[in-house]
């Protein structure tokens, strides 16, 4: 069974930093591009980053480029999101997500990690 | 303002059929595959449709997807009260080099 479990969320002050982790199991982690998607309270889905299987290709949404850094450790089957210079607009539930095998669409999602940016 | 445009809400009676539209441009829907997601309150999104019109295992055939040009449509037949949820379309945007989502559509089953 595919499992994605986020951790590292919490309350952080504006301008602060936080690192999210996503522990993956139940599939060959190194064979899949991984993604981060967030959802602000009462708002829609916003994709923020993807990292390819070997970290060769990395993409960011304009809203986080230069502040957030995605990485992965295939040996530890884990995905990470380093978030710096956080603002209130970054308050959201952050999900890690994996594509469906052989197709285009986020089939597997974690339960989400809540990040609250507030003084 | 989302790159993909969806109606904010749709409604229909139980047992009826409803469609949700998703409008984009050549760089996103026009040139790439579309996926659809259902999100029940307080839960993570669930993939309903991928590659425009394919259903993952376990998704009932009451859900269908189609794409024409720069627009896509999600269809739901035999509506049930359990279908009340938010629905999102998503795709890759070749110009932005980013995944883009629609703003979401709230389905109400009257």
Position B1 pLDDT exceeds 90: no
Output the six-digit token pair for B36.
């659809």
Residues A13-60 have pLDDT tens digits of 999 999 999 999 999 999 999 999 999 999 999 999 999 999 999 999
Strand partners, B49: B36
The alpha carbon dihedral of A10, A14, A16, A18 has a sign of positive
Neighbours of B51 (CB within 10 A): 17
Q: Nearest-CA distance from A110 to chain B in Å?
A: 7
CA–CA distances in Å: residue A44 to residues A68, A96, B37, B38, B88: 20, 16, 11, 12, 8
Residues A1-10 have pLDDT tens digits of 999 999 999 9
Of A70, A102, A104, which to mutate for an interface test with B (greatest number of B Cβ within 10 Å)?
A104
Strand partners, A70: A81
The alpha carbon dihedral of A99, A105, A107, A111 has a sign of positive
CA–CA distances in Å: residue B14 to residues B8, B21, B108: 20, 20, 10
SS3 category, A8 = coil
Q: Which of A61, A105, A111 sits opposite B44 (nearest CB)?
A: A111
- For residues A97 and A111, the answer to whether their CB atoms sit within 8 Å is no
The mean of the pLDDT values for chain A is 97
Q: Which of A37, A60, A104 sits opposite B50 (nearest CB)?
A: A104
**CB contact set of A82 (below 8 Å; sequence gap of 6+):** A17, A19, A68, A69, A70, A71
Phi, psi for B34 (deg, rounded to 5): -110, 140
Q: Taking CB atoms and an 8 Å limit, are B90 and A47 in contact across chains? A: yes
Give the residue on B whose Cα is nearest the Cα of A65.
Answer: B98
Q: Taking CB atoms and an 8 Å limit, are A107 and B51 in contact across chains? A: no
pLDDT at A59: 96
What percentage of chain B carries pLDDT values higher than 70?
A: 100
What percentage of chain B carries pLDDT values higher than 90?
A: 97
A17 Rama sector, left if φ>0, alpha if ψ -120 to 50, beta otherwise: beta
- Integer Cα distance of A56 and A32 in angstroms: 12
Q: Taking CB atoms and an 8 Å limit, are B33 and A35 in contact across chains? A: no
pLDDT at B70: 97
């Amino acid at each position: 069974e595919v499992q994605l479990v986020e951790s590292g969320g919490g309350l952080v002050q504006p301008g602060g930093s936080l690192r999210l982790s996503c522990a993956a199991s139940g599939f060959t982690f190194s064979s899949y591009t991984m993604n981060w998607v967030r959802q602000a309270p009462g708002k829609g889905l916003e994709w923020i980053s993807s990292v390819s299987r070997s970290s060769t290709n990395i993409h960011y949404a304009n809203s986080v480029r230069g502040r957030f850094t995605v990485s992965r450790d295939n040996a530890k089957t884990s995905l990470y999101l380093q978030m710096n210079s956080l603002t209130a607009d970054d308050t959201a539930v952050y999900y890690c997500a994996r594509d469906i095998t052989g197709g285009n669409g986020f089939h597997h999602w974690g339960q989400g990690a809540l990040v609250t940016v507030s003084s | 303002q989302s790159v993909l445009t969806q109606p904010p809400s749709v409604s229909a009676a139980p047992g009826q059929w409803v469609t949700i539209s998703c409008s984009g441009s050549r760089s996103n829907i026009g040139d790439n595959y579309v996926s659809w997601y259902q999100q029940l309150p307080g839960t993570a999104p669930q993939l309903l449709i991928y590659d425009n019109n394919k259903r993952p295992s376990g998704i009932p055939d009451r859900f269908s997807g189609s794409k024409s040009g720069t627009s896509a449509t999600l269809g739901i037949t035999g509506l049930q009260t359990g279908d009340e949820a938010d629905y999102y379309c998503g795709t890759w945007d070749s110009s932005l080099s980013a995944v883009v989502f629609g703003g979401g559509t709230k389905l109400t089953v009257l």
